Amino acid sequence: MRIVFVFYKISDMKNHKKADPQRIASNSKAIKNAGVVVNENIVSVIEKNYMPYAMSVIMSRAIPEIDGFKPSQRKLLYTMYMMGLLHHSRTKSANIVGQTMKLNPHGDSAIYETMARMSRGFEALSHPFVDSKGNFGKFYSRDMACAASRYTEAKLEPICEEIFGDIEKNTVDFAPNYDNTLKEPVLLPVNFPSILVNISSGIAVGMASSICPFNLKEVCSATVKLIEYPDSDISKIIAAPDFVGGGEIIFEKSVFESIYSTGRGTFRVRARYFYDESSNCIDIINIPPTTTSEAIIEKLALLVKQNKINEISDIRDETGLEGLKITIDLKRGTDHKKLMSKLFRLTPLEDSFSCNFNILINGSPVVLGVKRIILEWIDFRTKAVRRRLDFDLCKKKDKLHLLLGLSKIILDIDRAIEIIRNTEEESLVLPNLMVAFSLDILQAEFVAEIKLRNINKEYIVKKTAEISELEYDVKKIEKILESNSGIRKIIIKELESISKRFGKPRVCSVVQKGDLTYFEPCEENFPDYPVIYFFTSEGYFKKITPQSLRMSSEQKLKNGDEIIQATEGTNNSEIIFFTNSSQAYKAKGSLFPSIKASSMGEFIHAKLEGNDDEKFIYMAVTRDYSGFMTFFYSNGKVAKVQMSAYQTKTNRKKLIRAYNQESELKACFYIRRDENFVVFSSSGRALFFNTSLLSTKSKRDSQGVLVMRQMHRHKVTEVKLCTSADSRTNEKYFEKILPSSGKKILRPEIVGNQLKF
């Protein structure tokens, strides 16, 4: 496939004129290659233009790295660190956002949203990095919006000491910012595996990342175990993920083995609740991290409205300063355990969390299991600690070198003073000291820069006393650097300190799947009583009891509407509504409330959520799915379909291909036994027959069999169900063999349900 580019002059594009290549070529101001048609391979164009964008999203936006941060988060936290917000008081969030734009050239709203999601007030992270003051919204609420940045304040949390503690000791690489005016860290030298401690998710181009959080104490313990014994099984240490919002994690051994080993898998999380017996209500205090309180309340309200849940009398959102709380008031006699089992099945109170541990390792996206991630972090941290020790070693060696030079003049300080005083030129001071005491240029500079007030025995003795201490430190660091074992002892010590200082008990409880009690869904115990179902041409539906109908038989209808069906049934009958688009919608009679005849009824299209372009045309009421559905088509064919074909094992509400659409449907009838019908044609003929002559079909969309032969360009116009009186009166017209052309009728007259000629 190839793509064609045509270059036009900008003024021509603005004026919507077609560029003339000759005129443009003669114009000295024409753009380069204007009017030239260039053939390009679309593959090469995508590689040249789209691939850089895709790689930028993957590498610099959506996927976290081994330090646990995305670039936007890292730039924000580093800016706050350079502003001195680790140990000082809070400052306005707008100030932080403005300073961050020196490193992150995106809009202020994107930067502020990043800060809000890492804040303590948002409550999304197990260990937040931003100490916030003001309204930063809540992760479990869709409607609680964050206040503007000019109203809120923030600074870094104390745990950030474990993120930036070694950053000034060359532990990580630095790179220029977007305009090459500042330096920013490529990674942060985190002292613990933050990648597994806080939740992280992102969508890139062609890939995504979704990392669930684990408990800090468990992660630190597992890391220490892997440092000591790399082949250890960490699943015995890290029980399961630990979401900050709490809840119950349904544990399945095979699922978590897959997550720990491959980094992929899906597990279930359910809400935690308490039942208050005194007030007969359920208080939901923890919800899954994939939903919000508003979504849960809306779903509960919808289920109540659809009569799928009848045990609830009221739902309230009582979220306050103490945290999330959704209160559900129950009707008297409700079994709260069975109700919650139903709610877990029908609402987001139990939801799945999909894991995809996709992180950047050395600039490449890799999906790793929990154990591999910890091992990668150990390698990363080992390099950072080694670089820190190298930095400290160089500093101590430099200081030791200077103090050794100072020790050479301690025995003859007067001679050094005399040399400096008797030297006529300033430029000769250092060379004279170097010759007299065998010093190098650095040592001589250090001696020469000593202040006059410090030329005393006490100062010099204190300085030279550090020599033995520095020599000991240098040997100690050099010994540690000889192997990784010493470095890893330092990492273990740091992890144990972090675990003790910042570790928290688990918030999420772990429940074995086999220990859960599931109540099988069963039919609702609705009372069963006689009713009459009415269906109108405009698609309105009524369920009226015989007693109510006797009291007020006058039906209220929409202007121009009429009742086309009135069928007796019971409250627990099954109702199938057919549409003109070959679809059927199933509903239980108990779904609809009993109303009076003076009520207009329910618009069935809205109630059953039909498609915009379809119309409801027929209603079939059944209890045991016995009998047949008969479909009459304009081409003279009739399909006799078993009613059981519309019975489903699952609780499906919508059936596609409910009947055949090859020819126009003229009428359909639900019959419990074989009946007599009369079919009228546009040719002026009528055909009387009994459905026992038709073969029964098991497929819903069967095209049927030919019943009435049609003359050229004639079609079936009308179909009537014959009553007993009609059948006796017109017995001589009934056909015994099908198909047939029927008999010519001169002037049919229909009075009630009886046909006369």
* pLDDT tier for residue 32 given thresholds of 50, 70 and 90: low
Give 494's pLDDT tier (boundaries 50, 70, 90): very high
646 CB neighbour count, 10 Å cutoff: 20
CB 246 within 8 A of CB 507: yes
pLDDT of residue 17: 46
- 578 and 701 assigned to the same domain: no
* The pair of three-digit structure tokens given for residue 724, joined into one six-digit string: 């007993």
Do 305 and 402 belong together in one domain? no
Nearest C-alpha neighbor of 542 from the set 629, 607, 628, 615: 607
Q: Are residues 618 and 636 in the same domain?
A: no
287 pLDDT band (50/70/90 cuts)? very high
- Both tokens assigned to 310: 């009848």
Which amino acid does the sequence have at 128? P
Domain for residue 478, yes or no?
Answer: yes
Query: Are both 496 and 530 inside the same structural domain?
Result: no
Domain end, chosen from 150, 165, 190, is at: 190
Lookup: tokens for 431: 């060379």
Residues 561, 566, 572, 578: is their CA dihedral positive or negative? negative
696 and 590 part of one domain: no
- What is the CA angle 674-679-680, rounded to 5? 170
Which token pair is 156?
Answer: 């870094």
107/113 Cα distance (integer angstroms): 10
Please pick, among 50, 53, 151, 472, the residue that the annotation labels catalytic.
151
Q: What is the DSSP string of 386-419?
A: HHHHHHHHHHHHHHHHHHHHHHHTGGGHHHHHHH
Residue 602 lies in a domain: yes
Cβ-contact 216, 127 below 8 angstroms: yes
- Residue 92 DSSP code: E
Of all residues in the chain, the percent with pLDDT exceeding 90 is 57
Question: Of 54, 76, 95, which residue constitutes the final position of a domain?
Answer: 54
Q: Which amino acid is at 45?
A: V
- CA gap 446, 461 in Å, rounded: 16
CA gap 201, 290 in Å, rounded: 11
Asked whether residue 661 is domain-assigned, the answer is yes
Asked if residue 460 and residue 495 are part of one domain, the reply reads yes
Number of folded domains that form the chain: 6
CATH number for the domain including 673? 2.120.10.90
pLDDT digits (tens, 9 = 90+) for 342-394: 999 999 999 999 999 999 998 899 999 999 999 999 999 999 999 999 999 99
Cβ neighbours around 601 below 10 Å, total: 24
Q: How far is CA 172 from the centre of its chain?
A: 33
Closest CA to 720 of 745, 689, 695, 682: 689
Please say if the pLDDT value at position 41 is more than 90: no
Tell me which H or E stretch contains 51.
helix 42-57
CA distances from 159 to 93, 127, 576 (A): 19, 8, 62
Structural domain including 13 reads 2-54
Q: Are strands 509-512 and 540-544 parallel, antiparallel or unpaired?
A: unpaired
What are the structure tokens assigned to 546, written together?
Answer: 């015989």
Average pLDDT over residues 537-562: 87
Q: Are 689 and 734 in contact (CB under 8 A)?
A: yes
pLDDT digits (tens, 9 = 90+) for 552-603: 768 888 888 999 999 999 988 999 999 999 999 998 888 888 888 888 888 9
Domain-embedded: residue 252: no
Tokens 């992280």, located at residue: 200
> What's the longest Cα–Cα distance across the chain?
149
Q: Distance between CA 256 and CA 253 in Å, rounded?
A: 5
Amino acid at 510: V
Which of 137, 168, 190 is the last residue in one of the domains?
A: 190
Residue 35: per-residue pLDDT: 63
> What pLDDT is stored for residue 243 in this prediction?
94
Q: Do 588 and 664 fall into the same domain?
A: no
Distance CA 121, CA 136 (A): 6
What pLDDT is stored for residue 756 in this prediction? 44
* Cα–Cα dist 443/427, whole Å: 16
472 is catalytic: no
> What pLDDT, in 10s, does the model give residues 191-238?
999 999 999 999 988 899 999 999 999 999 999 999 999 999 998 899
- Judge if 636 and 752 occupy the same domain: yes
Helix (H, G, I), strand (E, B) or coil at 432: helix
Provide mean pLDDT across the span 306-322: 86
CATH code of the domain containing 331:
3.30.1360.40
Pair 459, 421 in one domain? yes
> What global pTM score does this model have?
0.70
491 and 531 share one domain:
no
What span, in angstroms and rounded, lies between the C-alpha atoms of 533 and 2?
63
Tell me the β-bridge partners of 185.
174
Tens-place pLDDT, residues 687-697: 889 999 999 99
Percent of all residues in the chain with a pLDDT value above 70, rounded to a whole number: 92
200: Cβ contacts below 8 Å, ≥ 6 apart: 64, 68, 70, 209, 210, 211
Q: What number of other Cβ atoms are within 10 A of residue 98's Cβ?
A: 14
pLDDT of residue 600: 86
DSSP lists the bridge partners of residue 286 as 272
Q: Is residue 198 domain-resident?
A: no
Q: Which amino acid is at 124?
A: A
Q: Please name every residue paired with 320 in a beta bridge, in sequence order, or none if there are none.
A: 323
Domain assignment present for residue 377? The answer is no
Q: Is 511 inside any structural domain?
A: no
The residue type of 710 is Q
Residue 726 and residue 741 in one domain: yes
What CATH number should be reported for the domain holding residue 167? 3.90.199.10
Which H or E element spans position 536? strand 530-536
Quote the crossing angle between the two packed helices 71-82 and 108-117, to the nearest 10°. 90
Strands 743-744 and 685-690, bridge-based pairing: antiparallel
Q: Which helix (H) or strand (E) holds 56?
A: helix 42-57
3-state secondary structure 341-366: HHHHHHCCCEEEEEEECEEEECCEEE
Q: What is the pLDDT of residue 259?
A: 93
Domain annotation covers residue 416: yes
Q: Are residues 664 and 595 in the same domain?
A: no
